[in-house]
Each structure stands twice: as structure tokens, then as C-alpha cells.
Structure 1
Amino acid sequence: MDDKDKSQRPDEGEKASPCGDLADPALHKALKKGNRKVITDLYVHENVENEPVEFAFTVFVRLNAKKKTLKNVSFQHSVFDACYFNNCVFDTCDFTGCRFIGCNMHQSAFSGCKFEYAVFERCQIDDDILEREAPRQENLKLRFARSLRMNFQQIGDAKAVNRAISHELEATSSYLKKSWASSETYYRNKYPGWKKLPQFIKWLEFRTLDAIWGNGENTLKLLRSIFAIHVIIALFDTYNYADPWDLKAYLQSFTASPGVFFGITDPHAYPVWFTSLIAATRLVGFAFLTAILVKRFGRR
């Protein structure tokens, strides 16, 4: 075999593709090149207004802007990678489906913007966006707050994390309630018939835990629950071992309730089920308190 024949023959380690060039997925007939543009290392040197198409479906890499106003600009389904916006104003801009990665939006303001399905990763952004620019729909508001909560955790902003969690819990509560009680078309189509029952159970569980300890975010609610337990102990003690018509008896029982709750004293021979219930409640209360403290200090 001459050298010409050898050059036309594939190497032994290579396998000839039966599809030829179609082996490259980018050249498959089912795939076509999209309309997404890539813009790298540019800066905005003037204000931008009324651009419904030009800036949409774009990958902005290291885009810079300082003290500029962008009004009524559509950035739909764009990607902002390592961009820097200093003291900029975004007025009625559309950020639907956008992804912000490692961006610095120091002191930039957003007014009337759309952030449906937007995702934030390692971005420096003011936490007031949670209240001013959150979507109205509960499910979208929940995802928006969750994305910002994870973003603030990545940059170590503990105060903003707590604020984002509060908005996330509020949106979760509203969403779970509407999922079984609302007659809106979205919820009626997504949770028809018997599917409302699991949502009702989830809402009931959520509300119960929220009342007991604020779903792990409210120390005052946990203290309120412990206070309620002391009141129950006092009522049980007075009703069974004192005069229920004597107000002083209730006060004395309530004064002695901390000792009963912490297992220090037993003023009376309480039933085993009652002392066991108090012990279990005490352990759960300490576990809840420890979890809150760990979460609070763990974010700093």
C-alpha cells in the first residue's frame, strides 16, 4: 500500500463515523443556531431609553456602566456575567429569565422592573429589591426571594439573608393557602379536585410550625410558645390540685410552672403521662432554640 492510500485511511485508534459530519451535535439537522449575541468588555457611555429588542437575548460579559439611566429596556433571557453597574438607574426594564453571575450593582436602583424567573449568583446588590421589585404572583415571588437568599448567603450578607427568608416564608404561606383555597385559574388548573387535600395538609403544617417557632426564624414566637406551655401547666395544676375559683391559686401555680417545665421541682404527684409530655416538650423546645441560634450565628 502506498503512502497516498495510507493517508486516506483512518488511524487505528479512530472510528469512522457512520453519519459523517452529523456526528457533531452542533451540525445536527434538529439544531439551529440561536439568536443569542455575546458582547464582551464594553461600557455604556450614554443613557438608554426605549429599546424593546436590541438588548434582549444577549450575553453581557464584563459590561460596565456608571451613573447611567436605562429606561424601558428589554433584557429578556439575557446573561450578565461579571458586569459592573455603579449608581445606575434601571427604570421599567424587563429582566425576565435573566441570569446575573458575579455582578456588582453597587448602589444601583431598580424601579418598576420585571424579574420573573431571574436568577442571582454571587452578586452585590441592595436588599431593598426584595420589597420593591418582587413579582406579584406568589410562586414567582417565592422563587425570586429564594434566589436572592442563596445569593446573599454566597456573599456572606447575614442581614440580607434574614430579610430574604422573611419574604420567602411570607410568599410560601400565601402560595400554600391559595393552592387549596383560591379559585384563581392558575391554582384551579394546577390543583384540581383531590389534589387540594395534600396542599391543605402542607399549609396546615406550615402554619403550625410558624405559630410555634416561626419556621426557625423567629425567637419571639418560640418564647411565646414556651410561655403558653407555662400557662397550660398552671391551669392543669390549679384545676386538679387547688381551687379553680381562686385567682391566687392560678398565680401560685404559674409561679411554680418554670420549675415543673425544667424538671427541677414537682409540687404535686403529677400523672406519668403529664410529666412525660412536659419532658418531651422541654426537649423539643431546647432543640428548636438550638437550631435558631445555630442558624443565626452560622450566617455570620
Structure 2
Amino acid sequence: MAFVNSNREHIVDQKIDTDLSSIDYENKLFLRLVAKGKRFEKVNFRFTIFDTAYLRNCVFDSCDFTGCRFVGVNFYGAKFTGCKFDYATFERTIIDSDILNNCCPGWDNLKLKFARTLRVNFQQLGDSKSANKAIKVELDATEIHLKKSWRSNESYYRKKYNGWKRVGKFLEWLNFKVLDFVWGNGENTYKLTRSVILLLIAMAFFDVLNFQDVTKVASYRDAILKMPEVLLGVVSPAYYSSRYLAIIYFTRLVAMGFFMSIIIKRFNRR
């Protein structure tokens, strides 16, 4: 037989009217569960589904939410301390972003997945501030995970990423670091502005070394002042080759694309 009963108990339209401690609610389906101001301590919720639940101002201490799915849950005012959320997912769930401060999984690959599902959840609710916080945690965890994938001597990484897979992870980490430096992987306007400034300085030095008098300070000053106009296409010096102008044009398109991408992302979260 291809299928067997998962023995998931359905608990529908119930209300919790007392504090709970050391109770096993593994593999349940809570539909329209209600609890307000209750305390849950060391409760096992592994692989349980919370659907359209209302758990306002509740306190969860050292609870296990491994593999849980939260859909349309209201955790307004709820506090989580020392809880485990490995492989948990969130959809349209009202929950405080403080959960990212004290309940992230220990493994970096699980941590980035945890932050990612919360980021998508916050975006669904239009909570841009919490979404930005989740993105930062996700990017930090991604960087650490990619670095460990090719560099760490931990048995997990060396067993999963060996041979050419290790090389591939190194290239993936290198690409992540380059994009992080250029524009913060699409999340940092400051880094993109810094990259454009460095590009203008490099263009100015190229101009002076190839077309101006390198012994004169005025050559560097004039070149730096002129480069923004060159990059934006307002000025196209006649002594520049068509190939170099094409490179500048392509660079301008990429930079504008990066700026527009960041702006669009910010507006989409609102």
C-alpha cells in the first residue's frame, strides 16, 4: 500500500483555559485554536499545524516547534524564549520580529531558511521593517553557511560538499561576497553608492594615466569632476575609443538597474 495513516489528530474550535507544561502535542492539527495570556512551558508541538489560530499575549518557554506550519496565526503580543523552530514555516502569521533575536536555529543552513520563511511572511503582511530585519539575518546566515561549505572541517560540510561540490560552493561564496561588496546583494543603497564612487575614481585615474599629464594635480581634479558626466553619458570625450565608451554605457545600465532594483524592492515591501 502506497499510503498509511499519519495519525494526525484534528483539534477543531477549542480554547485553552489553563497554563500548560511538559505536554505532548506532536503531529496535531489545531484549527481555530484560541488561547489568551497563557503560558506554555516545555510543550512538544513537533510537526504540528496551526491553522487560523488565535494565541494572543501567550508565553512560550522552551517549546519545540520543529517542522511546524503556521498559517494565518495571530501571535500578537506573544513571547518566545528558548524555543526550537527547525524546519518551521510561516504564512500570513502575525508574530513579533523579536523571534529572530532569540529563537533562530543553531545550524546556519536552517537559520537562513527560518529567516527566509519569516521574511516572506512579513512581506505578506506588509511589515517592511520586520522584513528588512529578516533579510539581514538571512544574508548573514547565508554568508556563514556558504563559507563553511567550502572551508569548514566540520563533518557535516565535508561529507555533503566534497570534491567538485566544494569548489562549486567556493565559487558561490565568492559570487556572494562580490555582490555583497557591490550592492549588498540588493539590500544596501550605501554599498552601491560606494561602488559607484570607486568606479568614478577608477575612471578618473584611467583618464589621467592615458590622456592627461600625470604630473599635474589639476589633471586628477578635472578628471574626477568630469567622470560623473561621462558615466551618465552627458559627455563623450572624442579621444575615448568606441570600445571604451561601450564599456561605460554597459556599466551605466548595470548601475541604474541595481538602483532601480533596490528601489522597487523597498516599495514592494510596503
> TM-score under structure 1 normalisation?
0.85
Matched, 1:285 2:255: yes
Structure 2 Cα separation of the partners of residues 184 and 245 of structure 1: 54
Instruction: Please give the secondary structure, in 2, of the residue aligned with 1:94.
Output: coil
Tell me which residue corresponds to 2:240.
270
Structure 2 Cα separation of the partners of residues 292 and 255 of structure 1: 26
**Considering only aligned residues, what root-mean-square deviation do their CA atoms show, in Å?**
1.6
C-alpha displacement at 1:33, in angstroms?
Answer: 3.6
C-alpha displacement at 1:149, in angstroms?
Answer: 1.5
Q: How does 1:169-208 map to 2 (within 5 A)?
A: 169-208=139-178
Structure 2 Cα separation of the partners of residues 150 and 263 of structure 1: 38
Structure 1 Cα separation of the partners of residues 17 and 154 of structure 2: 46
Tell me the percent identity. 46
Instruction: Please give the secondary structure, in 1, of the residue aligned with 2:42.
Output: strand
C-alpha displacement at 1:247, in angstroms?
Answer: 3.1
Amino acid at match of 1:158: S
Residues 114-136 of structure 1, C-alpha deviations (whole Å, 9 max, x = no match): 00000111111111212221112
Amino acid at match of 1:43: K
Which of 62, 80, 83 lines up with 1:113 in the alignment?
83
C-alpha displacement at 1:267, in angstroms?
Answer: 4.9
Tell me which residue corresponds to 1:219.
189
| Count of residue pairs brought into register by the alignment | 270
Residues 212-237 of structure 1, C-alpha deviations (whole Å, 9 max, x = no match): 11111111111111111110111112
C-alpha displacement at 1:79, in angstroms?
Answer: 0.9
Which of 39, 58, 70 lines up with 1:69 in the alignment?
39
Which of 85, 92, 109 lines up with 1:139 in the alignment?
109
Structure 1 Cα separation of the partners of residues 163 and 199 of structure 2: 38
Structure 2 Cα separation of the partners of residues 206 and 165 of structure 1: 14
Structure whose alpha-carbon radius of gyration is higher: 1
Amino acid at match of 1:153: Q
Amino acid at match of 2:116: R
Matched, 1:37 2:42: no
> Unaligned regions of 5+ residues in structure 1, if any?
1-27
> TM-score under structure 2 normalisation?
0.94
- Is the 2:19–2:38 contact (alpha carbons within 8 Å) kept by the matching residues of 1? yes
Tell me which residue corresponds to 1:22.
none
Tell me which residue corresponds to 2:61.
91
Residues 230-255 of structure 1, C-alpha deviations (whole Å, 9 max, x = no match): 10111112222333243333222111
Matched, 1:163 2:133: yes
> Unaligned regions of 5+ residues in structure 2, if any?
none
Amino acid at match of 1:124: I
Instruction: Please give the secondary structure, in 1, of the residue aligned with 2:22.
Output: strand
Tell me which residue corresponds to 2:179.
209
C-alpha displacement at 1:31, in angstroms?
Answer: 5.0
Amino acid at match of 2:219: A
Matched, 1:295 2:227: no
Structure 2 Cα separation of the partners of residues 157 and 250 of structure 1: 47
C-alpha displacement at 1:273, in angstroms?
Answer: 2.6
Tell which has more relative contact order, 1 or 2 (C-alpha 8 A, sep 6+). 2
Instruction: Please give the secondary structure, in 2, of the residue aligned with 1:187.
Output: helix
Structure 2 Cα separation of the partners of residues 211 and 168 of structure 1: 16
- Please say which of residues 87-96 and 39-48 is displaced more in the overlay: 39-48
